[in-house]
Chain A
Amino acid sequence: MAQNTELTRRSLMALSALGIVASARNAVAADGQLTWGVHVSLAPTWFDPAETPGIITPFMLMYALHDAMVKPMPGNGAEPCLAEKFKAAADGLSYEFTVRAGAKFHNGDPVTAEDVKFSFERYRGTSAQMMKERVAKVEAPDDRTVRFVLKEPWPDFITFYSSATGAGWIVPKKYVEKVGEDGFKKAPIGAGPYRFVSFTPGVSLVLEAFDDYWRKKPTVKRLLLKVIPEEATRLAALKRGEVDIAYSIRGELAEELRATPGLTLKSVVLQAPFWIYFADQWDEKSPWHDQRVREATRYAIDYKAISDALTLGFSPITNSMIPNGFEFYWQPPPATYNPEKAKKLLAEAGHGKGFDAGDYYCDSSYANVAEAVINYLQEAGIRVKLRPLERAAFYSGYSQKKLKNLIQGASGAFGNAATRLAAFVVKDGAYCYGNYPDIDELYAKQESELDVAKRTEILHRIQQMVHEKSMYAPIWQLAFLNGVGKRVGESGFGLVKGNAYSAPYEDVTIKK
């Protein structure tokens, strides 16, 4: 035996001398690997924090490859990470961060104030322009101090810097300048717990533990992310042990998953509400102009039963079209399922025998939700025709105001209650088919309101009006269901609030 080991060690040395050390090391740490079955195609833009678009998917990779000055962590929405600490000046006009001592990039370079400044200036993703307009300058007086000077007080600065954008995620200045933009996407280097090994677009991504990560040494040696678009296939792969964690398993597959010994179902509630939008409510000739008809619709649908059927009851019925985790969120009274009341309201509105309510548009990937909803509408006498559109066509049609009657929409965009209202409620919003002057007036007022308490009050009032006018029939806030295999100790699901994926990766473990 001893001889054998010796031999192996010797051949290992020979291999490393030949420069094949990487594959040899992989063989040694083979059991230290976890594999994910991912539902979307991974894109290299997600390797680069500067490109962060307004969707949550890139954070699946950013929590592994990169680290931020301040980012949402377990139990804290804005925890200092690459920053040891930060503080706001008393006048609210500047924020000073101290870079963590000993934090390193994957190539061994220390993280410096210069990198922080560079990353902010390089950032061009979502809300980039807005942030740069509000920040007068970024100063780096020494290697470990960064000061953001604002043009005027901006209470949301930390929210945007830490979680709503990718501006606070740090990339190595020297390396980026050396390899260029394309080079960086091909071989990204960050300060996160895992470093990049290889990537095949649309197929798989391999990451390896970065032992010098400041927070802790990651416990799992290798992460493999495999793209498997078909849900049933992902579950099959999980069952056979080909993957350890499978993202997005819904409906009956989720039930099966829950019933399978050794597999665990993990749900994460996304900041993505679904709703029905009454696009014709401003058209006096439409039945939807009548508020009673819209209210009837809200009473006619058993949201809880739909959540039970499609997401095993994990999608909360918030009765709002604003995500409940957002700043300035107002909680409406709970939704009630009351088919009698719905029928009564319809009768009062002159539709006692039901009526033809036109079309019901939806993104075809959520046709299952729509099908359940229109089943209830049908029962109440609201006869609609389902028009599932393929995703691109749906969102183009929605924003170009080409759809009509009923629209089943959803959004997982970052921001706060005010930004959501701007897009979906207020005059000229990208997805608004009409508007109410009283709401617009209030909205304009809050825009110039500096007092947070007063602003909150106005925004609450607007949300209440949206609710009372039945502008929308909110369906639910989508729960993202995932499967976890038996080899996994800590899957990382739900540790970081608002993050749909496994995070932080350094906390993920393999069962002993």
Chain B
Amino acid sequence: MAVTSPTVTPPTVASRASFKWLEGFPTIPVLILLTIAFVALFAELLAPYDPQVGTLSLRYRPPFWQTGGSMAHLLGTDHVGRDELSRLIFGARVSMIVGITAVMVAGTIGTVLGILSGYLGGWVDQVIMRIADAWLALPALTFAIFLAAIVGPSEFNIVIILGAVYWTRYARVIRGEVLSLKQREFVRLAVVAGCPKHVIMWRHILPNVINSAVVLGTLMLGVVIVTEAALSFLGVGVPPPKPAWGLMMSDGKQGLMVGHWWLTVLPGLCIMLMVLSANLLGDWLRVKLDPQLRQL
């Protein structure tokens, strides 16, 4: 453990090869996530119908095992007569893309600002944190509604909105991490050795906060996907007729009262499985990678 050169990596990553590391590996959640990813990737091959076009006269057909259902639409049809199964399949893609890219956008902005804020300190820190304060004061959904009104609804914009809303969570956590890293020997030595600031941030700080960022990402994925559904509920989510699970739930919500349960329960189940799996994976990663990240 003797640190001889300023570029030596810290000890946390050292024991990766050990098999014991896989202890408690969340097999089922990971399988679920892989399945969703597979479905999203091969949606065209798997979906029996075009998810965006339906026949109005065939609306509200129940799944095949209920009376009135048929094998033509295994999981029934929605309010425009579109095939629910096909929409769920393509919905996996939309939700995956929206969820993951939004988390990446939030993660990138948050990590960069968090590192700058934590490492440089001084007025940079103050300005970033004050912006984050002001941000926090704007309720996330409020903010999203405004952004949606300004930039208009589209998948891309939803990603930007979600990213813009949630970056502060990253920034705060990463900043905290950086503050403690700054006190560590390997960073101090790098400073003594005359490394320029941007090199230290890039080569010494960043690799050590990536773990936290990844853990936070898996946990945020759920938050982002559920928020996407809430945005649809408020009328500013992914624009129809694109199939996104959150939008499908929001569209089908009235159906709960009238027995069209499949329109909310099925996408709800998908969201639940995905969010649950991502969280369980995240929990495991958190313990493995960084036991200090407990306040998430």
Q: Which A residues have a C-beta under 8 Å from some C-beta of B?
A: 231-232, 235-236, 251-253, 255-256, 302, 305-306, 309, 364-365, 367-368, 370-372, 374-376, 378-379, 385-390, 392-393
CB-contact partner of A389 in B53, B152, B260, under 8 A = B152
B235 touches A253 (CB 8 A): no
- Whether A251 touches B79, Cβ cut-off 8 Å, given contacts A306-B56, A367-B240, A386-B239, is yes
Contact, CB under 8 Å: B152 / A387: yes
- Bound-state CA distance A150–B152 (Å) is 48
Provide the bound-state CA to CA distance between A302 and B56, in Å. 10
Q: Report the minimum CB–CB distance from A80 to chain B (whole Å).
A: 44
* B190 CB-CB contact with A under 8 Å: no
Question: A388 and B239: CB pair below 8 A?
Answer: yes
Alpha-carbon distance between A236 and B258 when the two chains are bound, in angstroms: 11
Contact between A386 and B240, CB atoms less than 8 A apart = yes
List, in ascending order, chain A residues with CB within 8 A of B81's CB. 375
Chain B residues at the A interface, C-beta cutoff of 8 Å: 52-54, 56-57, 59-60, 79-81, 145, 148-150, 152-154, 235-236, 239-241, 251, 253-260
Known contacts A372-B56, A378-B52, A390-B149, A232 near B254 by CB under 8 Å: yes
Closest CB in chain A relative to B116 CB, distance in Å:
34
Of all chain B residues, which has the CB nearest A394?
Answer: B149
User: How far is the CB of A24 from the nearest CB of chain B, in Å?
Assistant: 39
| A-B contacts, 9 listed (Cβ < 8 Å) | A232-B253, A235-B257, A236-B257, A256-B259, A371-B241, A388-B240, A390-B236, A392-B149, A393-B152
Q: Which DSSP category, helix, strand, loop or mixed, fits chain A's interface?
A: helix
Residues of B within 8 A of A374 (CB): 241
Closest B residue to A379 by beta carbon equals B53
User: In the assembled complex, which residues on chain A have CB atoms less than 8 Å from the CB atom of B152?
Assistant: 387, 389, 393
- A251-B254, A252-B255, A309-B59 in contact; A375/B260 too (CB < 8 A)? no
**Additional 11 contacts, C-beta under 8 A, given A252-B254, A372-B56:** A232-B254, A235-B257, A252-B260, A306-B56, A309-B56, A367-B235, A367-B240, A371-B80, A375-B241, A385-B239, A390-B148
Most B Cβ at <10 Å: residue of A368, A390, A392: A390
Residues of A within 8 A of B251 (CB): 368
A309 to B77, CA, bound (A): 14
List of 3 A-B pairs having minimum Cβ-Cβ separation, nearest first: A256-B258, A364-B235, A393-B149
**Smallest Cβ-Cβ distance to A256: which chain B residue:** B258
Closest A residue to B257 by beta carbon equals: A232
Residue from the list B56, B60, B240 in contact with A305, Cβ < 8 A: B56
Whether the Cβ atoms of B241 and A386 lie closer than 8 Å is yes
Shortest beta-carbon distance from B228 to chain A in Å:
15
Contact between A365 and B235, CB atoms less than 8 A apart: yes
CA distance A225 to B57 in the complex (A): 37
Q: Specify the chain A residue showing the minimal Cβ separation from B260.
A: A252
| A387 contacts across to B, CB distance below 8 A | 152-154, 239
**Within the complex, what minimum Cβ distance (angstroms) separates B161 from chain A?**
12
Q: Is the Cβ of B79 less than 8 Å from the Cβ of A309?
A: yes
Residues from chain B with Cβ under 8 Å of A236 in the complex: 257
- Give the distance to chain A from B246, nearest Cβ to Cβ, in Å: 14
CA of A302 to CA of B81 in the docked complex: distance in angstroms? 14
Chain A residues, CB < 8 A from B53: 375, 378-379
